[in-house]
Amino acid sequence: MIFTVLIPLILACFIPLLSKIKEKIHTGVFVFFIPFIIFLYFIQFVGNDFSPVRQTFRWIPSLGINLDFYLDGLSLLFALLISGIGALVVLYSIYYLNKTERLGHFYVYLLMFMAAMLGVVLSDNVFVLYTFWELTSISSFLLIGYWHFNERSRYGALKSMLITIFGGLSMFGGFVLLTVVTDTTSIQAMIEQKDVILNSTYLPLILGFILLGAFTKSAQFPFHIWLPDAMEAPTPVSAYLHSATMVKAGLFLVARFSPVFSTYEWFFIIVSLVGIVTLCWGSYMAVRQTDLKAILAFSTISQLGMIMAMLGFGTEIAVFAAVFHILNHATFKGSLFMVAGIVDHETGTRDIRKLGGLITFLPITGTLALFGTFSMAGIPLPFLNGFYSKELFFESSLDLAGASTFADLLAQAIPYLAVFGSIFTFVYSLYFLFGTFAGKADLAKLPKKPHEAPFGMLVSPIILVLGVILIGLFPNVVNGTFLAHAAEAIKGVSIEKHITFWHGFNYTPLQMTLIVVGLGLVLVLTRKKWAGAYHILPGKLSLNRLYNAILDKLDDWTKDVTQSYMTGSLRLYVAIIIGATLVVTAIVMLVTGGFNIQFNDLADVTAIEVSVVVIMVIAALGTIVAKNNVSAILILGVVGYGVAILFVLYRAPDLALTQLVIETVTVVLFLLCFYHMPKLRKRNESAGTKTINLIISIGFGALLTLVGISAHSSKWFDSIADYFIETSKPLGGGHNIVNVILVDMRGFDTLFEITVLGLAALAIYSLIKLKKGAK
């Protein structure tokens, strides 16, 4: 499995080379085979006899962090969506993106995101999962901001990253607490210790932190505001990230940890409430939008809320319906995003107020939109997969009960809220379809004369719509071989529900569907009459305004703080750095009991060592009162040479030689530099400044002294000295242990240190040459 995660990252390195020949062959042609091959790899696991597969690769075993990959029904469902939809999106992008675009950047970002998503759904180690989780935020930031010359693209990219990374950091805190409680980093091992977690005093914090990460990623209310702005990304990105992959990462997280928290009542309350509110709010707000992708963005929010609510219900039927709708939503929503992209590509606008009557010019696209929107609306037709999962959603909402009063009230209210949200789902679905394709076209409002898209651009949405129809006609084909395994991974017990279209008129979910269709039609036909309701709710209230206000306040506050210490004073900068190091280090060592002072097992101190130290102290004090640059540098050199003498006295000739060389070079360089600097002047500093300097100097010196003594006195780990003594000859081939450490054992450290010095030298040389050139 590891190759499915690494191959996209490795091949992404070669995309810039392939993009050089994009004039002859579109870069997407090469990229297409990557997700397609990964899809073929995962499709082999689909079947009734599927059993989980685990792979482990050592990474940081000392911290319990290994590349643990776990493929069960849930991760298989997401892996197939990530690779399958990914292949279709790449195929679509070949015809959507012009060869003049920065294709190298686009496909590098896309492959990076694909690898990150596969890593998220396959990881069994919480910290590896978190690493890939944040990589999805970074790569989606790059994809959303792909058209960086557009201010709205930059705004949407930054907004999505700030909100999702905020949630990711919260999730990381939950993972740390889980690791502390269970003493393991494996998710499956944590699930086995669910009783330990549920009885832990950290349980509310663990649940809150993890759910915060899931809600921000899956655009749940009130964190949904980033998703509509992310629609500034190219349509292939929207079709991939915001219908099938990234926005479902939060759903995956909740589903993955459901076996742990599903019996905890607050899990039901929080997840169900947030999910059902998101469904209602997203569907209600979708009808207000005028941009096709904005309509689909809010529709995605509502659909994600519905799935989240079902995961919160936690019953067998709800879990099965949730995984079923995850699959169905990817098919119809992916096709609708591509339809919106085709409309934009062929007409030059996504403004639904300028559109209409396009079925005459785009008959195939209009037909695809018909199937996609009707499936999304849950219209009761046997060839639409969305109807089946929507009906299961209604069924699951009827069998809820809570142990507490509030939970019971919520359980009773959920069916009504489910119907309310579904009514507006029906409305925005028909609003999207008829507002774009029905009526009479006004070509004068369109920037381009519309015509049907090239066949290559239609292939991907056609395949997705065929998925809508085939799953609708044969829902049980994907049941036992696919969906049942995913549901079992969440619920922990075997779940296989026979899906049928007709249950009779007395079937309550069917009655709820008929109410949705009936009231939905009334609202569709009278939309202009009740559209004024949006002036009341939300009216002037806007979470986006709150977000912008918070960012503006933070920006002003950080600017004030930065300007308070960025005064141009080098002395102030050094004082802040050293003072902060002093305070933080001292506090940490005091809290952790790091100060351990012992004077046993020390070398004998003779009069010679005492004399050298006294001379060094006198020289150090002399630098303070020196009034000449040259004398101050020479006196400071005495301190360095005194350290070299101490190395000799304590039988460290190599260190002594190194110290002598460095000290000599430093003194010479200082003399050369200070020759060009003004002479020392008497400093007219206030008594307060001198006091602060004295406190920082004495405090920092005392701290380092205590740290040095504590390091010698504390034996928290076995000394590594014996290892170097034993292996310097057989591994390094040398008798000089210090040289072997520097050249062999820490060869890369030495190499990079030399590299850094070389780069610094080149930079200084370049600055000098630039200065001479300026003259």
Give residue 219's region: left, alpha or beta (phi > 0; psi -120 to 50).
Answer: left
Cα Rg for the chain, rounded, in angstroms?
33
Its sign, for the CA torsion 438, 444, 448, 451, is positive
And the tokens for 596? Answer: 């351990």
For residue 63, the model assigns a pLDDT of 77
CA-based end-to-end distance of the chain: 61
Closest CA to 639 of 654, 622, 627, 661: 622
For residue 623, the model assigns a pLDDT of 84
pLDDT (mean) for 628-641 = 85
Helix (H, G, I), strand (E, B) or coil at 123: strand
Number of separate domains in the chain: 2
Task: Give the residue from 513, 535, 557 where a domain finishes.
Answer: 535
Instruction: Using pLDDT thresholds of 50, 70 and 90, give the confidence band for residue 761.
Output: confident
Helices (H) and strands (E) in the chain, counts: 32, 2
Contact 429, 299 (CB under 8 A): yes
- Give yes or no for a cis peptide into 538 (omega within 30° of 0): yes
Domain hosting residue 272, numbered range: 262-535
**62 DSSP 8-state letter:** G
Give residue 601's region: left, alpha or beta (phi > 0; psi -120 to 50).
Answer: left
For residue 720, the model assigns a pLDDT of 81
Helix (H, G, I), strand (E, B) or coil at 451: coil
* Torsions phi, psi for 382 (to 5 deg): -70, -10
For residue 748, the model assigns a pLDDT of 83
Q: Which residues contact 636 (CB under 8 A, 6 or more apart)?
A: 619, 620, 623, 667, 670
Between residues 63 and 428, the one the model is more confident about: 428
Helix (H, G, I), strand (E, B) or coil at 570: helix
Closest CA to 227 of 337, 312, 345, 79: 337
Is pLDDT at 252 greater than 70 in this prediction? yes
d(CA 111, CA 528): 44
Is pLDDT at 240 greater than 80 in this prediction? yes
Closest CA to 236 of 114, 376, 384, 371: 114
Residue 179 lies in a domain: no
Is pLDDT at 31 greater than 60 in this prediction? yes
Tokens 């591509």 map to which residue?
A: 338
Please provide the average confidence, as pLDDT, over all residues in the chain: 90
Instruction: Using pLDDT thresholds of 50, 70 and 90, give the confidence band for residue 395.
Output: very high
d(CA 77, CA 604): 70
For residue 565, the model assigns a pLDDT of 86
Residue 584 lies in a domain: no
d(CA 663, CA 628): 20
Tokens 């002047």 map to which residue?
A: 681
d(CA 634, CA 631): 5
Beta-bridge mates of residue 98: none
Q: What is the 3-state secondary structure (H, E, C) of 725-738?
A: HHHHHHHHCCCCHH
Any idea which of 233-237, 521-525, 641-645, 746-750 has the lowest mean pLDDT? 746-750
- How many other CB atoms are there within 10 angstroms of residue 539's CB atom? 9
pLDDT per residue as tens digits for the range 500-530: 888 888 899 999 999 999 999 999 999 989 9
Instruction: Using pLDDT thresholds of 50, 70 and 90, give the confidence band for residue 771.
Output: low
For residue 253, the model assigns a pLDDT of 97
Any idea which of 16-20, 134-138, 572-576 has the lowest mean pLDDT? 16-20
And the tokens for 102? Answer: 């920065």
Residue 368 lies in a domain: yes
Q: What is the 3-state secondary structure (H, E, C) of 631-653?
A: HHHHHHHHHHHHHHHHHHHCCCH
Q: What residue type is assigned to position 207 of the chain?
A: L
Is pLDDT at 775 greater than 60 in this prediction? no
d(CA 314, CA 275): 13
d(CA 102, CA 14): 15
Instruction: Using pLDDT thresholds of 50, 70 and 90, give the confidence band for residue 774.
Output: low
CA distances from 635 to 73, 619, 623, 676 (A): 73, 6, 6, 19
d(CA 526, CA 537): 18
For residue 746, the model assigns a pLDDT of 80
pLDDT per residue as tens digits for the range 342-387: 999 999 999 999 999 999 999 999 999 999 999 999 999 999 999 9
pLDDT per residue as tens digits for the range 169-209: 999 999 999 999 999 999 999 999 999 999 999 999 999 99
* DSSP per position, 215-253: HHHTT-TTGGGHHHHGGGS-HHHHHHHTTTSGGGHHHHH
Is pLDDT at 772 greater than 70 in this prediction? no
pLDDT (mean) for 224-238 = 93
d(CA 469, CA 492): 30
Percent of the chain with pLDDT over 70: 98
Residue 331 lies in a domain: yes
For residue 655, the model assigns a pLDDT of 82
pLDDT per residue as tens digits for the range 727-759: 888 888 888 887 888 788 888 888 888 899 899
Helix (H, G, I), strand (E, B) or coil at 64: coil
* Torsions phi, psi for 70 (to 5 deg): -135, 120
Residue 465 lies in a domain: yes
Task: Give the residue from 535, 568, 588 where a domain finishes.
Answer: 535
Q: Is 98 exposed, middle or buried (0-12, 13-18, 19+ CB in 10 A)?
A: exposed
d(CA 413, CA 398): 10
pLDDT per residue as tens digits for the range 674-732: 777 777 666 677 888 888 888 988 999 899 888 888 887 777 777 788 888 888 888 88
pLDDT (mean) for 464-475 = 94
Contact 35, 113 (CB under 8 A): no
Closest CA to 528 of 406, 738, 362, 353: 353
Residue 161 lies in a domain: no
* Torsions phi, psi for 67 (to 5 deg): -80, 85
For residue 296, the model assigns a pLDDT of 96
pLDDT per residue as tens digits for the range 272-318: 999 999 999 999 999 999 999 999 999 999 999 999 999 999 999 99
Residue 215 lies in a domain: no
Residue 550 lies in a domain: no
pLDDT (mean) for 444-451 = 90
Task: Give the residue from 517, 535, 553 where a domain finishes.
Answer: 535
pLDDT (mean) for 537-547 = 89
